[in-house]
Amino acid sequence: MDQPASPLNDVRQRIASSAKIARREPDEITLIAISKTRPVEDCLPLIAAGQCVFGENRVQEAEGKWPKLLEAHGDIELHLVGQLQSNKAGDAVALFDCIHSLDRPTLVKALAKAMDKAARRVPCFIQVNIGEEEQKGGCVIADVPSLLDTARKADLPLAGLMCVPPLGIEPAPFFALLGKIAEDNGLTGLSMGMSGDFETAVMLGATHVRVGTALFGERKAP
Ligand SMILES: *Cc1c(COP(=O)(O)O)cnc(C)c1O
């Protein structure tokens, strides 16, 4: 069946082609449409075309945008891909279906408490500072096992590992390293790959790719 030409179908096809090269099934890979900074009207055509997983990087922005849409479209999943402050853990647990930015023990505690209170378990990816960059969010590589242990003891549902590799250099070694760390720690989910590198990420085992620009066009400077 031929799909009409659109950025969404283009991204879907590129995911499928990369999966094929890696002898993977395309449906092993979840495409998360990163809609940060985009108005609701930009999301509607994607929803109409069957895209049902979206991602935002700010709790407050998402709270202004998504509750009505989620009510109207019961099958949409909303993922948080940005840094989370502990005092927003309750809001995040209430709104999001998955959190990609678990990066420290204090956040494990805050999320566990919020999930208990809401009687709702939200799967979490541990974000790893895979390039060991000073200014970047994420848990340092050496601390992944202990953070994982803390999260398991707090009974947080763990989805896997997430990373944003350093800008401007070949991302493949970083994706491969994230895969290795996940494997060593008994985790299967890999949230990696953005507009510029999702095909590489899929070939190296990504289970979740986070794509904004390739679906919506360039973001305006903040
Ligand atoms: C913005 C963002 C993305 C999407 O980036 P694009 O380059 O627009 O595809 C993915 N992951 C995170 C964590 C982001 O903040």
Q: How many domains does the chain have?
A: 1
Residue 221 domain flag: no
Whether 143 is in a domain gets the answer yes
pLDDT score for 221: 72
* Tokens of residue 134, six digits: 């000073």
pLDDT at 219: 87
CATH number at residue 181: 3.20.20.10
- 214 contacts 7 by C-beta, under 8 angstroms: yes
Across the chain, mean pLDDT equals: 96
Q: Whose CA is nearest to atom 10 of ligand 1?
A: 210
- Look at residue 137 and tell me if it is in a domain: yes
Ligand 1: lining residues by beta carbon, under 6 Å: 34, 36, 57, 81-82, 164, 194-196, 210-214
Q: What is the pLDDT of residues 100-136, one digit of tens each?
A: 999 999 999 999 999 999 999 999 999 999 999 999 9
Q: Is residue 67 part of a domain?
A: yes
Q: Residue 117 Cα, ligand 1 centroid: separation in angstroms?
A: 30
Cα separation, 58 vs 180, whole angstroms: 29
What is the percentage of the chain residues whose pLDDT exceeds 90? 95
**Residue span of the structural domain in which 42 resides:** 5-216
Q: pTM of the entire structure?
A: 0.96
Residue with tokens 């709702």: 120
Q: Is the pLDDT of residue 220 over 90?
A: no
In a domain, 165, yes or no: yes
